[in-house]
Amino acid sequence: MEVKQEGDRTTSFPVRETDRAQRLDAFLAGQFKDLTRSRIQELIKTGWIRVNDRLSKPGYRLKTGDVLEVTLPPLQSPRLEPEPVAFEVIYEDPWLIVVNKPPGVVVHPAPGHFTGTLVHGLLRHCKDLSGIGGVMRPGIVHRLDKDTSGLMVVAKNDAAHAFLSAQFKAGAVTKRYLALVHGIVKAKSGEIDLPIGRDPVRRKEMSIQPSKGRAARTLWEKKEEWAGLFSLLSVSPKTGRTHQIRVHLSHEGHPIVGDPV
């Protein structure tokens, strides 16, 4: 597979049995012969190359069935400029800022979303953010899906970025979500422990995959119910799989209200 220039287009393809166990960067260097290995490593680290719709590392060892998504950005990468993006500031000090991300807002620039992200708004509010996360993700130590609202903590300097990243990596951060779901959940609380993987038919979606999925565990507690139609749940994911909460709740027969996936 050869490319003559980069131009913001995405190529998606599965990993075959004959390619398993190769390093991600080495494999792609053989596929995209016009790109240097260092350029490929840069694209992986900045999120332009993803594995199973997740960020990866250049040294990741490929597994049969992995889906690689490679987006080649324009030769001139978009420059981040401050923009007036609405969000509520919950807390701020010289080290970090906690904001309430509204639904419909993408956290940081990515293919198809180069303006109007939370990062653009943060640059306007803070003027400067930690650069550890790369030029497209300044200050970002965790993410929320586009259609999910909720609190996000953002690092304003490199020391805070390193500390917060270590806390998330060590599992020291507790995440809780409120989910309004269809139907009346009968139990007061429960646990869903089912592996999640890419759906073999609908390749852009995730689903329960008992044999090939990755371990996924979600705790939930019922808070309220309305009119015999809806339940409000407090949900705590103990793992971080793509679309974990929506997949788990939907599988239990209680999909999230308004969820387009």
List residues with catalytic annotation.
Answer: 145
Residues 28 and 48: their CA atoms lie apart, in Å, by 13
Residues 137 and 55: their CA atoms lie apart, in Å, by 13
Question: Which amino acid makes up residue 205?
Answer: E
